[in-house]
Amino acid sequence: MLETKIGTDISYAATLLQQGEVVAIPTETVYGLAGNALDTHSIEKIYIAKQRPLFNPLILHTHSIDAIKQFAQITEATITIAQHFMPGALTLLLPKKAIVPDLLTAGSSKVAVRIPNHPVTLALLQQLPFPLAAPSANPFGYISPVTAAHVLKGLQHQISYILDGGTCSVGVESTIIEVLPQVVMVHRVGGVAVEAIQNVTNLPVQVVKKHTSQQVQTPGQLKSHYAPHTPLYVGDINHLYEQYGKGKRVAVIALRQMYTQPNITNFTLSENGDIALAASHLFEVMHTIDGGNFDVILAESFPETGLGLAINDRLHRAQVQWK
C-alpha cells in the first residue's frame, strides 16, 4: 500500500515530479494534484488518482506570462488582463500549441493556463523544466481541499507526497476567462470577481451560466461538483428547515445570520459580512460539517456580487439533486 507523506520539501517534490510521479501542491485557491503537464503518463496518473472522467480537461500551471507563450497563443488584449491578475486566481482559456498533449485538454484545441500566487508552488515551478497540470487534489466530485489534511483525507494511499503550504488564502478555485474579439467570456466564476475583470477591460464581460453532465470546454463546467457526502440544499433556510430539517441534525451555512430552530448548528462564514472572507472559509466549513455528525446541510444563497457568485456556484452544484 502506498504511503502518503506530508512535508515542506520543495526539492523533493520537484524530484518526484521529474520522475513522472504526481504530487499535491498548495495554491492560493485550493490544493492541486500536480504532474508534468507535457507528459501523458503523468497526466493519466492524475486522472486515475482522482477518478476524474477523461472528458474533463485540466489546467496548466506555469510561473510567468512569458512562459505561457511556450504553450499557447496569447493576444495583447489577453496579456493586458493577465498583467492585472497574474500571479493570481485567474485562468486563461487560450488556443493551445502542439507541445500541449490532447489528453490535458480532453481533445480541445484550447488550453486553460494560470500562474498560481503561492510562494511554495511558484518556487517549485521555477525548479522544473516543464509546467504542471493540477486539478483540485481531491476525489472527483468531492469538496475541494484547502489544507494538506483535506488532501490526505481524500487521497491517502493514492499519492506519495503532499507539499504543505498552509491553508489556502482565497479558498475557491480560479475564475476562468476567454478573451474574444468582442467579449470576455467567464467560463467559471471563482477567486477573481467578475466586477474586477470588468474594471480592467473595455470589452463586455459575459458569464456562462450553463453547466452540463456531458462534454465540457473548460474545467469547472460540470453540473455536479464540490459535493459533500451529507445531503445539501440551498435556499431560504426557514423554508428548507420545514421541508428537510425537522427531527434531524442540521448544519446551516450562512454569511452571518444565526438560526434558532431545534437541532441546528450554525456555521457562519463571515461575522462582518465580508464576502471574500466568506469565500475563503467555504470549503473548510464544508469539510468540517461533512466530518461531523449531521443528517443534512442547509445553505443560504449569498449576495450575487463579488465572490458571492463563486460561493453560490459551488453551493448550487454541491446540492444533493445533482449527485
Q: Are residues 30 and 160 in the same domain?
A: yes
Instruction: Give the domain CATH number at 302.
Output: 3.40.50.11030
Residue-wise pLDDT for 181-219, tens only, equals 999 999 999 999 999 999 999 999 999 986 655 556 677
Quick one: average pLDDT of 288-315? 96
pLDDT more than 70, % of the chain:
94
Please say if the pLDDT value at position 221 is more than 70.
no
For 96-217, strand residue ranges (E) read: 110-114, 132-133, 161-163, 175-179, 184-188, 205-207
Please say if the pLDDT value at position 5 is more than 80.
yes
In-domain check, residue 217? no
State the Cα–Cα distance between residues 314 and 223, nearest whole angstrom: 10
In-domain check, residue 288? yes
* Mean pLDDT value across the chain: 94
Query: For the ranges 36-45, 197-206, 224-233, 239-248, which has the lowest average pLDDT?
Result: 224-233
Closest CA to 100 of 128, 67, 60: 60
The CB-side HSE value for 294 (13 A sphere, CA atoms) comes to: 26
Q: Are residues 68 and 141 in the same domain?
A: yes
Of the residues 119, 143, 170, which one is the last residue of a structural domain? Answer: 170
In-domain check, residue 113? yes
Quick one: average pLDDT of 246-272? 97
Please say if the pLDDT value at position 168 is more than 70.
yes
What confidence score (pLDDT) does residue 310 get? 96
Q: Are residues 149 and 290 in the same domain?
A: no
Instruction: Give the domain CATH number at 37.
Output: 3.90.870.10
CB atoms within 10 A of CB 257: 11
What confidence score (pLDDT) does residue 55 get? 87
Quick one: average pLDDT of 267-281? 97
Q: Are residues 166 and 262 in the same domain?
A: no
What confidence score (pLDDT) does residue 222 get? 63
What confidence score (pLDDT) does residue 224 get? 60
In-domain check, residue 209? no
**Does residue 179 come out as left (phi exceeding 0), alpha (psi in the -120 to 50 range) or beta?**
beta
Take residue 62 and report the three cell numbers written for it: 506555469
Quick one: average pLDDT of 154-181? 97
Q: Is this model's pTM higher than 0.75 or not? A: yes
Quick one: average pLDDT of 91-96? 98
Of the residues 122, 150, 170, which one is the last residue of a structural domain? Answer: 170
In-domain check, residue 210? no
Residue-wise pLDDT for 31-46, tens only, equals 999 999 999 999 999 9
Q: Are residues 144 and 243 in the same domain?
A: no
Please say if the pLDDT value at position 116 is more than 70.
yes
What confidence score (pLDDT) does residue 226 get? 77
Total structural domains within the chain: 2
Q: Are residues 161 and 245 in the same domain?
A: no
What confidence score (pLDDT) does residue 309 get? 96
In-domain check, residue 69? yes
What confidence score (pLDDT) does residue 95 get? 98
pLDDT more than 90, % of the chain:
90
- Which H/E stretch holds residue 314? helix 308-317
- Give the residue numbers spanning the domain of 12: 5-170
Quick one: average pLDDT of 302-306? 95
What confidence score (pLDDT) does residue 209 get? 80
What confidence score (pLDDT) does residue 162 get? 98
What confidence score (pLDDT) does residue 323 get? 47
In-domain check, residue 191? no
What confidence score (pLDDT) does residue 24 get? 98
